């Protein structure tokens, strides 16, 4: 693998120390690409905008500060849209200072750039390989939780190949980016089918998954949606696993009751099938518990300003807020809600507060938010300890934490491999496969239901406190 280093520089009419201190403010005064972060220290999360050209929207790069020298140097290790490092060097010169930026672009990064320009970089599968596709969101609002999905998928494939592959064939993982866009998802799914993928694992929003289903379900290959979703039916080869909002609400309700806030709810979500289905299920649980839904609001994916909706929450008598916002939208909403002071009055249950989203919100703003998933990376089992150790050994200390979304991708690939090894009729085998995995024992009951235990967690510091159940 070869790495290309891209270098750029710019002059600023302020001293290097002052320019360094402005890093992370989110404007061009901070640095060339408008980076944002809460603190300039190793481990702090960073996002930045990468301009793709005059005819394309900027792409958000996600990473962490891996090292820094106050006043002179910052190194960012990033995972999305590709894995690499960016070095920033601040030096004084006549009339101000100069910021030099060098970025690493490896083979995977170059392939990603080419795909953004319309090139299909996936070659036809070799006869001796068993190709599995992973469709995920390397860009767009869903990118926050996508990187660990890719990493866990690679670990699963590595494990399968170490065990002999599938019927003597080496498994090859093909990864495509849906950009958190349903139209792009359909295009990339067609490309995966054309390249010889025998199954597609779709770690994407429900909107993207439905577009993929309409596009490739007739191809007959297994199409698996392993992450949190609102459910639904489809063709015999379509599998919707993952947590369901009714189970999340039912599991979390006792913890919110013990917290002592009133029973009046305000719902907020993104305006597509996931949030609509989630809030219908949530309303049923609220009514069964004697609560009241005062108001609800749905916003487009990609919303960044939630001030008008926060004003509506303030004007209501709501004491509990349910959020089904996704990725970057959830980050913006929770930070703004915390800054508004309403968190002193309202308990918050977030259905999509997986670990990478919690990290991007930041500890102060995320502290106290409730969520419910089938997996937390603090689960005390040997299987989970082994997975987290392998993950850190492979991807290092700066890789984002494993979450229910990424562990679900890991288990989906393992379950698919188990079914493919078991018998010729993979679809029939997938409908009844069971396993003991890092999240515990899971069993598939038909194509639409995966039975699993739901755990309830409350964000605290750099992780979660799991509630007694």
Does 58 lie in the same domain as 157? Answer: no
Does 140 lie in the same domain as 28? Answer: no
User: What's the confidence (pLDDT) of residue 29?
Assistant: 39
Q: Is the pLDDT of residue 43 over 60?
A: yes
Does 328 lie in the same domain as 409? Answer: no
In this predicted model, what pLDDT tens digit does every residue of 418-437 receive, in sequence order? 999 987 789 999 998 999 99
Q: What is the pTM of this model?
A: 0.89
The CATH number of residue 366's host domain is: 3.40.50.2300
User: What's the confidence (pLDDT) of residue 58?
Assistant: 67
Residue 79: give the domain boundaries.
4-106
Radius of gyration (Cα) for the chain, nearest Å?
22
The CATH number of residue 81's host domain is: 3.30.530.20
Q: Is 461 part of a structural domain of the chain?
A: no
Q: Is the pLDDT of residue 32 over 60?
A: no
Q: Is 454 part of a structural domain of the chain?
A: no
Average pLDDT, the chain: 89
Alpha carbon distance 328, 336 (integer Å)? 12
Does 366 lie in the same domain as 249? Answer: yes
How many structural domains compose the chain? 3
In this predicted model, what pLDDT tens digit does every residue of 332-345 receive, in sequence order? 999 999 999 999 99
Q: Is 143 part of a structural domain of the chain?
A: yes
Alpha carbon distance 98, 12 (integer Å)? 6
Residue range 375-379: mean pLDDT, rounded: 95
User: What's the confidence (pLDDT) of residue 403?
Assistant: 95
In this predicted model, what pLDDT tens digit does every residue of 214-258 receive, in sequence order? 999 889 999 999 999 999 888 999 999 999 999 999 999 999 998
Q: Is 140 part of a structural domain of the chain?
A: yes
Does 368 lie in the same domain as 397? Answer: no
Does 14 lie in the same domain as 25? Answer: yes
Does 261 lie in the same domain as 317? Answer: yes
Of 77, 106, 135, which residue sits at a domain end? 106
Token pair for 55: 């005819």
Q: Is 112 part of a structural domain of the chain?
A: no
Does 127 lie in the same domain as 213? Answer: yes
| More confident: 122 or 380 | 380
Q: Is the pLDDT of residue 5 over 50?
A: yes
Q: What is the dihedral of CA 11, 17, 22, 24, to 10 degrees?
A: 90
Residue range 69-86: mean pLDDT, rounded: 87
Percent of the chain predicted with pLDDT > 90: 68
Q: Is the pLDDT of residue 122 over 70?
A: no
Sign of CA dihedral 21, 24, 30, 32: positive
Q: How confident is the model at residue 126 (pLDDT cuts 50, 70, 90)?
A: confident
């Amino acid at each position: 693998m070869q790495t290309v280093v891209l270098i750029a520089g710019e002059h600023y009419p302020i001293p290097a120390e002052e320019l360094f201190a402005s890093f992370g403010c989110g404007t061009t005064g901070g640095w060339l690409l408008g980076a944002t972060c809460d603190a300039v220290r190793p481990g702090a999360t960073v996002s930045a905008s990468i301009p793709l050209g005059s005819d394309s929207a900027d792409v958000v790069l996600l990473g962490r500060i891996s090292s820094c020298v106050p006043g002179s140097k910052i190194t960012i290790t990033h995972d999305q849209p590709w894995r690499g490092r960016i070095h920033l060097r601040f030096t004084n010169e006549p009339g101000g200072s100069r910021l030099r930026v060098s970025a690493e672009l490896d083979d995977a990064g170059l392939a990603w750039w080419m795909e953004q320009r319309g090139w299909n970089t996936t070659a036809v599968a070799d006869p001796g390989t068993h190709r599995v596709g992973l469709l995920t969101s390397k860009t767009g609002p869903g990118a926050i939780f996508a990187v660990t999905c890719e990493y866990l998928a690679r670990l699963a494939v590595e494990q399968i190949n170490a065990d002999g592959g599938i019927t003597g064939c080496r498994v090859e993982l093909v990864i495509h980016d849906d950009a958190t866009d349903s139209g792009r998802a359909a295009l990339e799914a067609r490309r995966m089918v054309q390249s010889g993928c025998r199954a597609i694992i779709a770690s994407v929003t429900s909107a993207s998954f439905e577009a993929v289903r309409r596009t490739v379900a007739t191809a007959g290959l297994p199409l698996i949606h392993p992450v949190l979703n609102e459910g639904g039916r489809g063709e015999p080869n379509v599998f919707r696993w993952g947590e369901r909002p009714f189970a999340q609400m039912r599991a979390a309700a006792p913890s919110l009751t013990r917290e002592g806030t009133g029973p009046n709810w305000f719902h907020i979500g993104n305006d597509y099938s996931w949030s609509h289905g989630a809030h219908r299920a949530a309303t049923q649980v609220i009514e069964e518990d004697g609560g009241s839904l005062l108001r609800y609001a749905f916003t487009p994916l990609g919303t960044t300003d939630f001030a008008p909706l926060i004003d509506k929450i303030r004007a209501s008598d709501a004491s509990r807020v349910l959020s089904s916002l996704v990725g970057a939208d959830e980050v913006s909403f929770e930070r703004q809600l915390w800054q508004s002071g309403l968190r002193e009055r309202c308990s918050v249950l977030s259905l999509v507060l997986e670990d990478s989203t919690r990290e991007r919100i930041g500890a102060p703003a995320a502290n106290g938010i409730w969520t419910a998933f089938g997996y937390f990376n603090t689960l005390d089992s040997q299987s989970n300890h082994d997975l987290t150790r392998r993950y850190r050994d492979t991807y290092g200390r700066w890789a984002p934490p494993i979450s229910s979304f990424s562990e679900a991708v890991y288990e989906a690939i393992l379950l698919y491999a188990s079914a493919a090894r078991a018998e010729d009729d993979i679809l029939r085998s997938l409908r009844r496969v069971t396993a003991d995995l890092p999240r515990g024992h899971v069993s598939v009951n038909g194509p639409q239901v995966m039975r699993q235990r739901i755990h309830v967690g409350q964000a605290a510091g750099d992780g979660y406190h799991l509630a007694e159940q």
